[in-house]
Structure 1
Amino acid sequence: MIEAVMIWNEPNNLSHWDFQMDPGWKQFAMMTRMAASAIRAERPSLPKVLGGISPIDPNFIRTMASEGVVDAVDVIAVHGFPLDWNHWQIHEWPDKLAEIRAVTDKRLWVSEVGVSTFGAEEVQEFGLVRTAELLRGKVERIHWYSLYDLPRAWPATTRHREAEGSSYYRHFYMGLLREDGTPKRALKHFHTLTPDLGICQWFHFEDHRLEPAVKWLRELGVKHLRTGLSWADSHRPNWEQWFDKQMKALEGFETTITFCFTPGSRGQRDDHTSPPKDPAEFADFCARMVRRYA
């Protein structure tokens, strides 16, 4: 059921890891090494993926190598959104992959790539087809982000707000399906691109979209799925029932599970991006989840 585990998400993005509290990512590196060791003790053969980086930055990978993190994982992952947030163009994807391959010989995945329909659905349609042309056969895994639009009533997991123009609002238009489950233009192409393209779909705590998402994933022929189990959610009441329900529903897919998000009570400050007070607690969470679901 679990194909791989990813340790954190976008650690070089302030929306996911507060590296201003952790200059040089020293605490992140220690936490990641401890988590990798704990996962290895449970399932030695289970691939461990360094949290997908955004922006794509070879200097960050060099930093992780100097801190022993690259040696502790099996896969390096990158995220790219050149038609929405990145300061490079979509045709530069091969160059971006080459930049990472120049600094590591680890396996390389694209664990999030997507295009919003904020401006027009035709942009996403073009972006999906062009992304597939550029990436198929170039990396082991490609996870398209995402299946569903983020509901407008939910906050986006980002520090960006109105101060950066449309940046924040684009988060709500990344799906191949609208919030109400109706298809967008690009969806009609996706079944022609599977199983080469997988899906990255985050499920919120007690997410009402779980069952319809599974139905759509099966209809589209998706084989590889990326989602997450939130350390922060494991501090909610009834968390085990929700985790069990989610993982049971996803049994039919080869799933990469991302472990991330610091519980407010366990962080050096009350925020999901905070370095934990005790990194061993995150490592223990990873081990327990692997023991339970892998």
Structure 2
Amino acid sequence: MIEAAMIWNEPNNKSHWDPLLDPEWTHYADLVTRTGGAIAAVNPDVLRVLGGMSPIDPHWLGRMRELGALDHVDVVAVHGFPLDWNLWPIHAWPDKLAEIEAAVPDKPVWVTEVGAGSFGADEVQLFGLKRTAELLIGRAPRIYWYSLYDLPMEWGATTRHREAEGSSYYRHFHMGLIRADGTPKPALDAYARVADRMGLMQWFHFHDPRLDDAVAWMKRLGVRQLRTGLSWADSFREGALDWFDRQMDALADFDVTVTFCFTPEHLGVEPHHTSRAHDPQAFADFCAAMIDRYAPARAQAAAAE
């Protein structure tokens, strides 16, 4: 069941939203305002989440408040990877949450992506998972570990400069609890002990062959909460709705936070998934249509009875 909808992924990260095309953040704020309203009109019970910020930045959040975007979301989300990408230590997690809670005392703060990769060693990931659980379980109302699977090298990571980023790029391929060949890493057993309290964040690519195995793994682990995505760009592919239907049907037994993001090339100011759209209402309409298809208000009400 869809319990929440996230409006974009890491919007203040230049790999996911081009700040040169939106230097004052007015376009993203407009996107949030339109989309938040559109989702609420379809199903007011679906929580609207401000796209997980990365880096964690209370000043950026203040700008969202100035532009009125926070009036159209119910939750603020953060992402953090202190052992791989961030310039702060893992032990600073409570301080990072406190910064955002002080900036938005009227909204819950979710950690919608947190992780530690095995790029350097499996032992680093194992430590990262255990320490993250100690720091965040009971501290944040929702936590999503990134991720279940390693990203296969041949698929490529969604970043702006790819291999030019050096080890920062290659770390993307080692964030899973299960290797690309299907073999578990040591941290998987440690995750199983907290899976009922720490959800998973797992992207599924278009016609992802891992979907059924992922569902089986998550049920075996006892996962209850899952964050995933539906791509606006993918919605223009042939057979998109068939794939979306299959994905969401497979995930029906979990409490799902669905992330809407990625600009279709033909609808962007520039032909890139990070570009702002010519017409932000088109994105809002896509999100509303997906909520109507997979979390209509009448179905949610019937499930609650």
Which TM-score applies when normalising by structure 2? 0.95
In structure 2, the residue matched to 1:19 is: 19
Shift of 1:19: 1.4
CA deviation string 1:172-200 (max 9, x = no partner): 00000000111001001111102110000
- Name the SS of the counterpart of 1:24 in structure 2: coil
Structure 1 runs not aligned, ≥5 long: none
* Code of the aligned partner of 2:93: W
- Name the SS of the counterpart of 1:229 in structure 2: strand
In structure 2, the residue matched to 1:85 is: 85
User: Distance in 2 between the 1:88 and 1:11 partners?
Assistant: 20
* Code of the aligned partner of 1:249: A
Query: Is structure 2 residue 160 aligned with structure 1 residue 159?
Result: yes
Shift of 1:154: 0.6
User: Distance in 2 between the 1:2 and 1:45 partners?
Assistant: 10
CA deviation string 1:251-287 (max 9, x = no partner): 0000000000000011111000000010010010001
- Name the SS of the counterpart of 2:173 in structure 1: helix
User: Distance in 2 between the 1:268 and 1:24 partners?
Assistant: 16
User: Distance in 1 between the 2:233 and 2:153 partners?
Assistant: 22
Shift of 1:131: 0.2
- Name the SS of the counterpart of 2:103 in structure 1: coil
User: Distance in 1 between the 2:80 and 2:220 partners?
Assistant: 26
* Code of the aligned partner of 2:230: L
User: Distance in 2 between the 1:235 and 1:211 partners?
Assistant: 24
Shift of 1:20: 0.9
In structure 1, the residue matched to 2:182 is: 181
In structure 1, the residue matched to 2:144 is: 143
- Contact 1:80 / 1:113 at 8 angstroms: preserved in 2? yes
User: Distance in 2 between the 1:238 and 1:115 partners?
Assistant: 35
Q: Superposition pairs for residues 59-138 of structure 1, below 5 Å?
A: 59-105=59-105, 106-138=107-139
Which TM-score applies when normalising by structure 1? 0.99
- Name the SS of the counterpart of 1:28 in structure 2: helix
User: Distance in 2 between the 1:163 and 1:243 partners?
Assistant: 33
Shift of 1:290: 0.3
* Code of the aligned partner of 2:77: A
User: Distance in 2 between the 1:133 and 1:266 partners?
Assistant: 43
Shift of 1:227: 0.1
User: Distance in 2 between the 1:102 and 1:247 partners?
Assistant: 35
Q: Superposition pairs for residues 1-294 of structure 1, below 5 Å?
A: 1-105=1-105, 106-294=107-295
- Contact 1:160 / 1:167 at 8 angstroms: preserved in 2? no
Identity of aligned pairs, percent?
61
User: Distance in 1 between the 2:159 and 2:100 partners?
Assistant: 25
User: Distance in 2 between the 1:124 and 1:223 partners?
Assistant: 22
How many residues align structurally?
294
- Name the SS of the counterpart of 1:55 in structure 2: coil
In structure 1, the residue matched to 2:299 is: none
Shift of 1:45: 1.7
Structure 2 runs not aligned, ≥5 long: 296-305
- Name the SS of the counterpart of 1:172 in structure 2: helix
- Name the SS of the counterpart of 1:130 in structure 2: helix
* Code of the aligned partner of 1:212: D
Shift of 1:84: 0.3
Shift of 1:210: 0.2
User: Distance in 2 between the 1:165 and 1:39 partners?
Assistant: 39
Shift of 1:293: 0.1
- Name the SS of the counterpart of 1:116 in structure 2: coil
Query: Which protein has the bigger helix share?
Result: 2
- Name the SS of the counterpart of 1:137 in structure 2: coil
* Code of the aligned partner of 2:120: G
- Name the SS of the counterpart of 1:3 in structure 2: strand
Greater shift, 124-133 or 153-162, is seen at 153-162
CA deviation string 1:13-38 (max 9, x = no partner): 01100111001110010011000000
User: Distance in 1 between the 2:271 and 2:163 partners?
Assistant: 23
Shift of 1:70: 1.0
* Code of the aligned partner of 2:95: D
